[in-house]
Structure 1
Amino acid sequence: MKLFSNIQADLATYEGSWSSQGFWVMVVYRFGRWRYTIKNNIIRKPFSLLYRILYKFIQIITGIELPCEVPVGANFRIDHFGDIIISGYARFGDNCTLRNGVTIGLKNIEEKAAPHIGNNVNIGTGAKILGNITIGNNVDIGANAVVIETVPDNALAVGVPAKIILKKTGQKRD
Structure 2
Amino acid sequence: MSDCFDLLKEDFKIYRRPFISQGYYSLLVHRFGRMTRTIGFKPVYFLLRIVHIIFTKLCEIAFGIYIGAHVRIGRRFIIEHFGCIIIHSEAVIGDDVIVRQGVTIGNKVIDHPLDAPVIGNRVNIGAGAKILGKVVIGDDVDIGANAVVITNVPSNSIAVGVPARIIPKKSEIEV
Identity of aligned residues (%): 47
Note the 1:19-30 alignment, pairs <5 A. Answer: 19-30=20-31
| Partner deviation per Cα, 1:107-161 (whole Å, 9 max, x = no partner) | 1121121110000000000000001110000000000000000000000000001
1:85–1:104 contact (8 Å) kept in structure 2: yes
Residue 116 (str. 1) matches residue 118 (str. 2): yes
RMSD: 1.1
2-11 or 41-50, larger mean C-alpha shift: 2-11
What secondary structure sits across from 2:19 in the alignment? coil
The equivalent of 1:35 in structure 2 is 36
Deviation at 1:16, TM superposition (A): 4.9
Note the 1:125-140 alignment, pairs <5 A. Answer: 125-140=127-142
1:7–1:26 contact (8 Å) kept in structure 2: no
1:117–1:135 contact (8 Å) kept in structure 2: yes
| Partner deviation per Cα, 1:38-62 (whole Å, 9 max, x = no partner) | 0121221111111111110111111
Q: TM-score, with normalisation over the residues of structure 1? A: 0.93
| Partner deviation per Cα, 1:72-106 (whole Å, 9 max, x = no partner) | 11110100010000100110111000000000100
Deviation at 1:18, TM superposition (A): 1.3
The equivalent of 1:88 in structure 2 is 89
1:114–1:131 contact (8 Å) kept in structure 2: yes
1:90–1:114 contact (8 Å) kept in structure 2: yes
Q: How many residues align?
A: 169
The equivalent of 1:49 in structure 2 is 50
Note the 1:97-108 alignment, pairs <5 A. Answer: 97-108=98-109
Q: Which runs of 4+ in 1 moved over 4 A?
A: none
Q: Which amino acid aligns with 2:101?
A: N
What secondary structure sits across from 2:105 in the alignment? strand
Unaligned stretches of 5+ residues in structure 1 = 170-174
The equivalent of 2:13 in structure 1 is 12
Q: TM-score, with normalisation over the residues of structure 2? A: 0.93
Unaligned stretches of 5+ residues in structure 2 = none
